Amino acid sequence: MTSVPTPIPSRTQFVLEAVKHRILTGQLAPGQALVEVELAAQYGVSKTPVREALKTLAGTGLVVMNQYKGVTVRMVDADMAREVYDVRLLLEPEALRRTVHSGAALDAAREALERADSATDTAERSLANREFHRALYVPCGNPLLARMLDEVRDQAALVSAVAWAADPSWELEAGEHREILRRALAGDADGASLALHAHIASFVERAFPAPRREDMPI
């Protein structure tokens, strides 16, 4: 039987994935300029696929396009982080609760957790953690809910990359991931949902704590 060759991704898709990977693994820092000519030379393509890739990344919230400043990696501040994580808090625990109720297999989540535990660098660990969370909500039985979470997934990963650069708290979060998965595998839908909610809430509070009342302007 003749195997069908894997389609070669388009130049735009190639540039898109390459730039996204560099952003989400901290190789391109928030605020850093993304110059079309430079990226085209780096990836051996014309400016057109670079321009299209950057437009797509702007649509997902990873870069900002400004007619005066050009294209830059999106800056991450407390307001942006809380907005993204608020969406996750509203949707992701419910998606996991439905996943557990459905009895869906969670092999992909277990495998992602193992990859994260054995990761040798922050980039590899970050990508594995993203896959872990996605593996929990994709089988929820509601494709629209899964797509809504996918839409904030990249921005959440950008927040995580910035937070980890300041405070590499991955060991604590890895323990929380194991507890979430343990409850899910035990069929404890509500317990897994509550553990996930606490995990998401505590991360953003540690990384971007709300200002104390005495620090707020009068």
| 131 and 183 share one domain | yes
| 51 and 65 share one domain | yes
Domain holding 49, by residue range, is: 11-73
Domain termination site, one of 54, 73, 92: 73
Q: Report the C-alpha gap between 155 and 184 in whole angstroms.
A: 25
Task: Specify the residue for token string 């998606």.
Answer: 95
- The domain spanning residue 95 has which CATH number? 1.20.120.530
pLDDT per residue as tens, the chain (218 positions)? 445 554 445 989 999 999 998 888 888 888 999 999 999 999 999 999 999 999 999 988 899 998 888 999 999 888 989 999 999 999 999 999 999 999 999 999 999 999 988 887 777 788 888 899 999 999 999 999 999 999 898 888 888 888 877 777 777 888 999 999 999 999 999 999 999 999 999 988 888 887 655 554 55
pLDDT at residue number 133: 96
| 88 and 51 share one domain | no
| 131 and 152 share one domain | yes
